[in-house]
Structure 1
Amino acid sequence: MKRKKIIISIISLLILLFALGYLFRPPSDFPSEKELLNQIPEAKTIQDILFLDDKHVYVPFIMNDNSYGMSMWVWKNGWRLVADGDIGAPYIWQIYPDNPDSYRLLYNIHPEDQVSSINFYLLRRRYYSVSFNDVHTYTPGIQKHFTMELSKKSYGMIKIPTDWKEMIIDYMKVSKEDEQPILPSLGGPYIEFAWNTTNQHGEEIQPHKTYVGGFSITGSYIINSLRYMNQEEINLYNE
């Protein structure tokens, strides 16, 4: 009887080890372009396969109707398509929400829009409030930006700048202490990500073919679109 219990214990342990090995096994090879096209039937050309880290991948592609799209993939006991669409306007993927170092800006600009550069913005309106116990709080506004010059490639993946990371980390701390929202809400200061574009002459243009389309996300991944703002709207954050 004792021998039987030992054998059962050993078998149970082996099953547990096998299950853990399966769940925590390292990522396998990413699907080939042919396999990707089978999973994204609307696409005709895979432009690139960009690893954001060993478990998160960005795949820009060209659609059958010649629009430009994007897809995001995650390793979770297999490579899974978690987001895709026929839109190339920038999105920010907060891979690990509590770690801004993992945030990535992703885009795929349609060539017919003749975009020469993309301007990315980190914004927050200044905010003044008075609490019920007469505590006055002033939160200064923020307007940070950087410009990405487009080369021959229509697509790209960008890590957010160091000063953005530091500002977001500081704001996260303040938000937790004061219970202020980080993302847009009905009240209180919050951070926004925005963008606009210019042509080769430095003139602001509307990239209509780039930001027209749909985008779907499966699961609880934080992948947010950036708000398109013209310069007049951006200037409001200085007021």
Structure 2
Amino acid sequence: MNKKTTIWIVSGMTGVLVLAVIYSFYFRSPSPFPTNEHLIEELQDTFPAFPEVGDSEILEVFDVGERKKYVPLVTSEGSYGSSYWVWDKYKWKVESVDTKGGPRIWKANKGDPSTYHIVWNIHPNDRVKYIDFHVLRDRGYSIANGTDETYYPRIQMKQTVSLEEKSYGVLQLPKEWASFVSGLNDTYAAQQPDLFFNQLYTEQQVSFGWIPYDTNNEEIFPNHSVNGSGFSNGGGDAFAYLSILNEYDLEVWSGE
């Protein structure tokens, strides 16, 4: 075997080894999710300035895709909050924490609305019996090129979730909602090839909200579940809050 052949063989083996290392580092399947004790240790190490978060009770662990977990918790100060965990190359890490559990949308894959999940951890003292989640788009009208007229009808969809068994949980965006948002993305993409503009415009046109109800089926304001603190360890653009709505924000059609 001559020197040139030896160099080619060594180079090829080195390339294969590098590719194997890159694959195992970035694309390997996540390891088992840590125990509650290890989650608390990670919270303490990541947010040492917020001991009330580092001394929390873990309520449950929910899958939000293969590489993401939603973990509702109760802090040492009695706040019902949320923690968001992601598989980051070689370990599970906490990406964000809230000390209040009002609903948020977690965009597991920001380009695919079917991967969006609504997560919540409502304080039991708010006595919320159920929540109506809504996706809305106001009607509109536009003219392009002076002659092309387009009317946009009102869109309003609802999903009801009971909190009688658990005051926390996860709801994957309903298929009808995901198809609606994806359809808007496709429409704007055809009109404007700038991807960032498309996503921004869609977010301006579509709103997500929630209405909490008490045991008398009346609207209730969840004082204990809103206006908390949030601590981010990256990935903040993957989250979106839902607005608290009132029934007068909705339209009611005859026969509904």
Q: TM-score, normalised by structure 1?
A: 0.89
What residue number does 2:168 align with?
155
**Residues 1:76 and 1:213: Cα distance change in structure 2 (over 3 Å):** same
What residue number does 1:234 align with?
250
Cα distance in 1 for partners of 2:6, 2:141 equals 72
Structure 2 gap ranges (5+):
45-52, 193-197
Q: Give the one of 121, 132, 137 matched to 1:119.
A: 132
Structure 1 gap ranges (5+):
185-189
- Superposition misfits of 4+ residues, deviation over 6 angstroms: none
What residue number does 1:19 align with?
22
Whichever residue aligns with residue 193 of structure 1, its letter is F
5 Å-filtered alignment, 1:1-239, equals 1-2=3-4, 4-6=6-8, 8-9=10-11, 10-41=13-44, 42=53, 43-77=55-89, 78-179=91-192, 181-184=201-204, 190-217=205-232, 218-219=234-235, 221-235=237-251
Cα distance in 2 for partners of 1:19, 1:133 equals 53
Cα distance in 1 for partners of 2:4, 2:15 equals 15
Shift of 1:3: 5.7
Cα distance in 2 for partners of 1:134, 1:20 equals 53
Shift of 1:150: 0.8
Higher mean C-alpha deviation, range 42-51 or range 112-121 = 42-51
What residue number does 1:187 align with?
none
Deviation digits for residues 213-237 of structure 1 (CA, Å, limit 9, x no counterpart): 0224413642101011111223499
Are the equivalent residues in 2 in contact too, given 1:95–1:221 (CA < 8 A)? no
Q: Secondary structure at the match of 1:167?
A: helix
Cα distance in 1 for partners of 2:114, 2:107 equals 9
Higher mean C-alpha deviation, range 68-77 or range 35-44 = 35-44
Are the equivalent residues in 1 in contact too, given 2:114–2:179 (CA < 8 A)? no
Q: Secondary structure at the match of 2:157?
A: strand
The count of aligned residue pairs is 233
Cα distance in 1 for partners of 2:142, 2:189 equals 17
Whichever residue aligns with residue 18 of structure 2, its letter is I
The alignment's C-alpha RMSD in Å is 2.2
Whichever residue aligns with residue 28 of structure 1, its letter is S
Shift of 1:136: 2.2
Higher share of residues assigned helix: 2
Q: Secondary structure at the match of 2:64?
A: strand
Cα distance in 2 for partners of 1:114, 1:171 equals 36
**Residues 1:136 and 1:14: Cα distance change in structure 2 (over 3 Å):** closer
